[in-house]
Structure 1
Amino acid sequence: MKSKHLTLIVAAALAALSTSAMASGYRFGSQSVAAQGTADANAAEADDASALYYNPAGMSRLQGQNFSAGATAVVPHSTYSDTGSKRFTGTSSGGTATDGYAPDVVVAPSLYYTKQINSQWSAGLGMFVPYGTKLNYGDNWTGRYALTNIKLEAIALNPSASFKLNEQHSFGFGLTAEYMKAELGQAVDVPGTVAALAGTPNSAALVKQIMALGGNPAALAAVKDGRGENDGKDWGFGFNLGYMFQLDKDTRFGIAYRSSISHKLKGSTVWDFSNVTTDAVVNKVLAASSRKVNSAALVALRTPETLSVNGFHQINARWAAMGDVTWTRHDRMGDLHIQFPGTDEGDEVIRQQWKNSVRVSLGANYKYDDKLTLRGGVAYDQTPVNSDELRHPALPDSDRKQFSVGANYKLSPRSSIDLAYSFLDFKDANTNYRNNCSPLTAGCTGNGETTRGTYQTHLQLLGVAYNYQF
């Protein structure tokens, strides 16, 4: 009965992965409403303060002081159909179907400020949400031994500067301070363990111990799941670099890099066996025999770095075209090892073996008149998940297509608002994930479950932002 299961692991993974809301993995893809309107193809446009995130060299194009404050609402719709989830014993996991496990709406803010110091130097500060996820499958769903609920919140501060060498070449750099907080819950397969031990010497010893303490062994006939709750948090630090080349007044290209960030998520694990039977003595004996004790939890990981290449061309007075290709090094996220310092529990190992991914986006602007600019874009984003056997319920990710429209409306010569709408269609995702460590396996932690089913998902994103130039 060992299962310090996914504890912080996923929490960690979460952080290490790259948006369950938009980009592949756990990365929150859209950091700007203006960018969202072009499916994030406009990094080389560098037309407002959010250029700080996509390519800090783009700040050299901004005059005076610039401020942008936005919020993106994510409206997910996801269904899961179970096709035969099992306990480690090979029997059905039981449980019920899950519905409404994704939240109705999640809102992520962003803030950017830039200032032109002189003709060559500019500086700025950005605050944004790099990662995030929130799922609650419930305590009784068929895949509860893998996960019942998970929540990841992250926020990053990104002071940056740019240097304009001449009319053609600009450079940018920044530092990133990233804070992550994660929570995770799971069921503990006590019924499966009791059934697996039935008729063995270990089962007889368990019954003898219960009777010696005044408990009723008959309560084992109606045993229920235990439960584990985990949390963790950490600050990590990284950097970003950018270069922009102005070919002529209408055409420019950019290259941007964001480094990986090392994290050590530290938190606690709490196990609850108080409701596994109606007999308090039996519950205490089962808890002790499981060797699960409330403890610290630790997961070390590195988030993936990204490398982007993008371009922008002003076709004529009304039309502009743009594009972006972003490569993400997800293979930094191999198997995750969750450690439980101060206990005899072995590591929980979550098999991931993520692969690197590429995101391609194309977009366009149309200047309707002096006040209104319309935007549109499409994108294709690869998932880092390698196979159905490595697709875990914490991240039922798959390749997706994005379709976006947006607009910028000038309220005055100095202020404007951005609006954007995106629809993301995910490829149906099958999972056949098996935990290799059962409750009866020595030296490791896990429920040994197999989660088997199909996810169908699409997302809608609504963004609004206010921009002001001082």
Structure 2
Amino acid sequence: MKQKHLTLLVAVALAAASTSALASGYRFGSQSVSAQGSAEANGAEAADASTIFANPAGLSRLDGKQIMGGVTVLAPHSSFQDAGSTRFTRTPTGGPASQDDYAPSAVAAPSLYYSQKIDSQWTAGLGVFVPYGTKLNYDSNWTGRYSLTDIKLEAVNFNPSVAFKLNEQHAFGFGIDIEFMKARLGQGVDIPGTIAAAQATGTGAVLARQIAALGGNPAALATAGDAHAAVKGKDWGYGFNIGYMFSPDQNTRFGIAYRSPIQHELKGGATWDFSGVSRDPVVNAVLQGAARRANSAAQVDIRTPETLSLNAFRQFNDKWAGMADVTWTRNSRMDNIDIVFVGTAEGNEVIRQQWKNTVRVALGANYKLNDQVTLRGGIAHDEAPVRSAELRHAALPDADRLQLSFGANWKLTPASSLDLAYSYLDFKDAPGNYTNNCNPTATTCTGNGETVRGTWKTHMQLLGLAYNYKF
């Protein structure tokens, strides 16, 4: 039973999360406070330097030098109700049947954008933002602990960009994505189930004799608890994004933007803690040796899915403007994943991911209240990449969601302004029935063999604040 393969599952899935704004999967939330106010429908608006993320061609519309710094706070509320999770022996895993505090009360991420007009045709800029992230802390003894106990992902993307304005109708943009990611996760190791299986096949007596020969107490096997595994990994990845913007007149714009896949080679190490299995260190050492768990390095190569966005903007009059965005994400690159341990003879872990492609549709509007205040609003529907309950893992209990957003821009001076945004996201109930197809008794593959059955329910709120300055 080699749990390190399973622990790297989440690191792989995290790296493959979409980097599009508010995309389903392991997305953080919002990469632009001004865009958040319209539910990210404003890809063709190009009103400030955050257009670097949505469509770099929009840089061509910005004058002088502009800087935008913001922070988005995400406050989720999630719950889980167990519906019969089992070990690989098909006996109940035990532990609390419900979870309601595994998501953090609040998580914040900053964003920074800068643009500078070079001449009448060229504009350059730099964006720094958080493309995705997650943080979950289930109880260490919850019913799905053999799948996951905790996970934390932090990612940052550096996006230098340039735009070329061919004429008043056509503009093009290009950017380079330099992405850093680090992740940590933990999970339980099913020692009680492994002991029960060994005793059922008669090999438990071998363990007992080995423990006794080393001076330990074989009786401790009857009360043995879980071990715990943890893994950390980090990586740099590189990609690009391009955009095109067409303006048939001064009040109308259409845009198309593409973000490439990013190749990641995750490297990290796994550590195993058997100290809490029993009070007898001899028993713990024998069980760790029998499970063949030793600290080691691991590696997995993945390619993140690309995104393609189509958007439109129309200034109807001096008060009202409307906008829309459709973003397609090629999540289907995430099929089964093979995790390899370099320099070992351990079998690969095959993770049944099999994500589907998704579409996000957003509609938004601006209303100019007066010369100082512009109000924003938007609504969006976003599909989840998870195909079914049988493929819904505890690290990503994702579901289709509906987003409602409100925002405002308040001009403080002719050169400075504040952006405010609030969003509410309501997720569909997410039933799970995920089974690891490899169990601890297998010799050619790795896995805990657990089944996590239950339903996740989630809603979340986002609050954003940004400061803009032109000089």
How would you bin the TM-score normalised by the shorter chain?
over 0.9
Q: Name the CA distance, whole Å, in 1 between partners of 2:129 and 2:50.
A: 10
User: 1:19-62 CA deviation, whole Å, 9 max, x = no partner?
Assistant: 89942001234211000000000010000000111000000000
Check conservation: 1:439, 1:446, Cα contact below 8 A.
yes
> 1:34 maps to which residue?
34
- Structure 1 residues 79, 154: CA separation in 2 closer, same or farther (over 3 Å shift)? same
Identity of aligned residues (%): 65
- Matches of 2:267 and 2:2 in 1, distance apart? 21
Alpha-carbon contact 1:156-1:179 (below 8 Å) kept? yes
Q: Which range moves more in the overlay, 132-141 or 13-22? A: 13-22
SS in 2 for 1:119: coil
- Contact 2:55/2:242 (8 A) holds in 1: yes
Distance across 1 between alignment mates of 2:293 and 2:149: 18
Cα offset for 1:292? 1.0
Deviations 1:121-149 (A, max 9, x none): 00000000011000000210000000000
Q: Distance in 2 between matches of 1:313 and 1:376?
A: 15
Q: How does 1:303-342 map to 2 (within 5 A)?
A: 303-342=304-343
Secondary structure of the equivalent of 2:99? coil
Structure 1 residue 349 displacement after superposition: 2.1
Provide the residue aligned with 1:250 in structure 2: 251
2:277 maps to 276
Question: Matched residues in 2 for 1:344 and 1:298: separation?
Answer: 14
Question: Compared with structure 1, are the counterparts of its residues 22 and 43 closer, same or farther at alpha carbon in structure 2 (3 Å cutoff)?
Answer: closer
2:54 is the counterpart of 1:54: yes
Contact 2:29 2:462 in 1 (8 A): no
How many angstroms apart in 2 are the aligned matches of 1:440 and 1:17? 32
Contact 2:21 2:40 in 1 (8 A): no
Q: Aligned-pair distance for 1:356?
A: 0.3
Q: Secondary structure at the match of 1:334?
A: coil
Deviation, structure 1 residue 8: 2.2
Whether the aligned pair in 1 keeps the contact of 2:216 and 2:283 (CA below 8 Å) is yes
Q: 2:75 aligns to what?
A: 75
Which residue matches 2:178? 177
Letter in 2 for 1:36: Q
Q: Is the 8 A contact 1:291 1:345 kept in 2?
A: no
Q: Which runs of 5+ in 2 are unaligned?
A: none
Confirm or deny that 1:43 pairs with 2:43.
yes
Separation in 1, partners of 2:192, 2:282: 17
Contact kept? 1:17, 1:333, Cα under 8 Å = no
In the alignment, the residues of structure 2 paired with residue 52 and residue 20 of structure 1 have an alpha-carbon distance, to the nearest angstrom, of 12
Q: Deviations over 1:428-455 (max 9, x none)?
A: 0000000001011111111100000001
Q: Does 1:371 align with 2:372?
A: yes
Higher mean alpha-carbon deviation, 293-302 vs 71-80, is at: 293-302
Query: Bigger shift: 456-465 or 439-448?
Result: 439-448
Equivalent residue number for residue 91 of structure 1: 91
Query: Is the 8 Å Cα contact of residues 358 and 382 (structure 1) preserved in structure 2?
Result: yes
Kindly report the root-mean-square deviation, in angstroms, between the aligned alpha carbons of the 2 structures. Answer: 1.2
Alignment of 1:228-267 (within 5 A): 228-267=229-268
Residue in 2 aligned with 1:416?
A: 417
Gaps of 5+ in 1: none
Q: How far apart, CA to CA, are the structure 2 residues paired with 1:200 and 1:432?
A: 28
- Whether 2:156 is the aligned partner of 1:126: answer no
Query: Matched residues in 2 for 1:132 and 1:192: separation?
Result: 33
Tell me, yes or no, if the aligned pair for 2:162 and 2:173 is still in contact at 8 Å: yes
Contact 1:55 1:172 in 2 (8 A): yes
CA distance in 1, matches of 2:130, 2:8: 20
The amino acid of 1:246's aligned partner reads S
Separation (CA, whole Å) in 1 of partners of 2:51 and 2:416: 17
Q: CA deviation at 1:398?
A: 0.3
Residue pair 1:19, 1:133 contacting (<8 A) in 2 also: no
Secondary structure at the residue paired with 1:445?
A: coil
SS in 2 for 1:411: strand
Which whole-Å CA distance do the structure 2 matches of 1:215 and 1:33 have between them? 61
Counterparts of 1:405 and 1:100, CA distance in 2: 27
Q: Is the 8 A contact 1:43 1:51 kept in 2?
A: yes
Distance 1:277 1:86, change over 3 A: same
278-287 or 351-360, larger mean C-alpha shift: 278-287
**Residues 20 and 307 in structure 2, CA contact (< 8 A), matched pair in contact too:** no
Deviations 1:403-448 (A, max 9, x none): 0000000001110000000000000000000000101111111110
Q: Distance in 1 between matches of 2:4 and 2:85?
A: 20
Q: Which amino acid aligns with 2:451?
A: T
Partner of 1:8: 8
Change beyond 3 A, Cα 1:199–1:245: closer
Distance 1:249 1:442 in 2: 67
* TM-score of the pair, normalised by structure 1: 0.98
Match of 1:23 in 2: 23
Matched, 1:348 2:331: no
**Cα separation, 1, equivalents of 2:326 and 2:20:** 19
d(CA) in 2 for partners of 1:411, 1:360: 33
Confirm or deny: 8 A CA contact 1:15 1:131 kept in the other structure. Answer: no
**Matched position secondary structure for 1:304:** coil
AA aligned to 2:38 is T
Q: Work out the CA distance in 2 between the residues paired with 1:165 and 1:29.
A: 34
Q: In structure 2, what is the Cα distance between the partners aligned to 1:386 and 1:199?
A: 36
State the shift of 1:264 in Å: 0.8
* Counterpart residue type for residue 93 of structure 1: T
CA distance in 1, matches of 2:268, 2:468: 39
> CA offset at residue 4 of structure 1?
2.0
Q: Distance in 1 between matches of 2:30 and 2:437?
A: 36
Work out the CA distance in 2 between the residues paired with 1:77 and 1:259.
Answer: 32
For 1:308 and 1:2, the matched residues in 2 are separated by: 42
Tell me which residue corresponds to 1:301.
302
Q: Does residue 214 of the first structure (1) align with residue 215 of the second (2)?
A: yes
For 1:394 and 1:276, how far apart are their aligned partners in 2?
24
* Matched residue, 1:446: 447
Which amino acid in the other structure matches residue 399 of structure 1?
D
CA contact (8 A) 2:159 2:176 kept: yes
Which whole-Å CA distance do the structure 2 matches of 1:299 and 1:158 have between them?
Answer: 25
Going from structure 1 to structure 2, the CA distance change for 1:21 and 1:241 (only over 3 Å counts) comes to closer
Question: Quick check: 204-213 or 168-177, which moved more?
Answer: 204-213
The CA distance in 2 between the partners of 1:363 and 1:248, in whole Å, is: 20
